[in-house]
């Protein structure tokens, strides 16, 4: 596709592109939305700089790309419950979601996408890493692909350290059943409903074991897959600035916010989009 209304600049060989020529404080034409969506599907995560928008404007933008849904554990903004504040305070040492993951795969229909808008950023650090799960699948051996194809992954909201990463925000503004674990089953090899490409759909933060296998039996293979899917050549790194926006595809990309800015506050607003059943 040739772009007539936006400029698209890849940021790495694996995934990610910065998009210029978009002002989210103004009404977007259908043509611009179509081009952004095409770039997003091609690059898995797209970034925008120097945006100045209100929560109402962020929600309006999000609705052009999907159906916003609430996060299950933390209350959203009072007037905009689908916008979740992603906050680390200066005196805290644990950051929200600070593990490799794709968002809320413990739900039966995990989110299609996530939009994150940066408001207050530390003077250094706080970058986010992204990883391409298409590449992770493509580079597996044929034998391992065949082994994984029929397997189902069990994904839990309460696996290991992930509970700790959201504990401070749950304490501040918990949902009514914030302490109840969610568990969902998804294919280890997922076919993207729009591109038709296969990806390695596991997550260090949430995938606990394979269906029909014990945790002990699953652990060695899962550990290999977690390490494989985050190989440096499968990743890109985004440096946040106030006014930055990232929009990524949760069906084929992982992310990991780096926790290297102790003593500084970091505030972003997140919207996730309703997804479809995995296949």
Are the CB atoms for 128 and 254 separated by under 8 Å? no
Catalytic residue among 43, 101, 169, 190: 101
**CB 245 within 8 Å of CB 25:** no
Query: Which of 169, 209, 255, 269 is flagged as catalytic?
Result: 255
Look up 262 and say whether it is catalytic.
no
Residue among 212, 247, 113, 219 at smallest CA distance from 159: 219
d(CA 255, CA 99): 8
**Nearest to residue 74, comparing CAs of 170, 211, 162?**
170
Instruction: Reply yes or no on whether 158 is catalytic.
Output: no
Q: Which of 169, 186, 269, 270 is catalytic?
A: 270
Q: Which residues pair with 186 in a beta bridge?
A: 153
Name residue, tokens 């194809």.
149
Contact 118, 241 (CB under 8 A): yes
State yes or no: is 103 an active-site residue: yes
Our answer to whether residue 255 is catalytic in this structure is: yes
> Catalytic positions, please?
101, 103, 255, 270
């Amino acid at each position: 596709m040739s772009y007539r209304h936006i400029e698209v600049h890849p940021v790495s060989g694996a995934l990610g592109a910065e998009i210029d020529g978009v002002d989210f404080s103004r009404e977007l034409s259908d043509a611009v939305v179509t081009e952004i969506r095409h770039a997003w599907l091609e690059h898995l995560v797209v970034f925008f700089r120097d945006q100045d928008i209100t929560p109402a404007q962020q929600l309006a933008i999000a609705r052009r790309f999907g159906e916003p849904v609430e996060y299950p554990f933390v209350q959203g903004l009072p007037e905009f419950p689908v916008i979740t504040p992603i906050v680390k305070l200066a005196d805290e040492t644990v950051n929200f979601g600070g593990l490799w993951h794709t968002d809320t795969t413990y739900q039966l229909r995990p989110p299609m996408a996530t939009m994150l808008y940066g408001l207050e950023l530390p003077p250094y650090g706080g970058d986010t890493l992204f990883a391409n799960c298409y590449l992770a699948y493509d580079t597996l051996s044929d034998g391992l692909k065949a082994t994984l194809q029929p397997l189902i992954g069990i994904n839990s909201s309460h696996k290991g350290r992930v509970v700790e990463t959201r504990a401070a925000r749950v304490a501040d503004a918990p949902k009514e059943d914030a302490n109840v674990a969610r568990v969902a089953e998804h294919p280890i090899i997922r076919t993207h409903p729009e591109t038709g490409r296969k990806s390695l759909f596991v997550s260090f933060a949430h995938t606990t074991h394979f269906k029909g296998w014990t945790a002990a039996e699953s652990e060695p293979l899962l550990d290999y897959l977690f390490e494989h899917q985050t190989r440096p050549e499968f990743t890109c790194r985004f440096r946040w600035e106030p006014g930055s926006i990232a929009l990524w595809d949760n069906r084929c990309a992982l992310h990991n916010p780096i926790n290297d800015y102790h003593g500084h506050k970091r505030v972003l607003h997140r919207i996730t989009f309703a997804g479809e059943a995995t296949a």
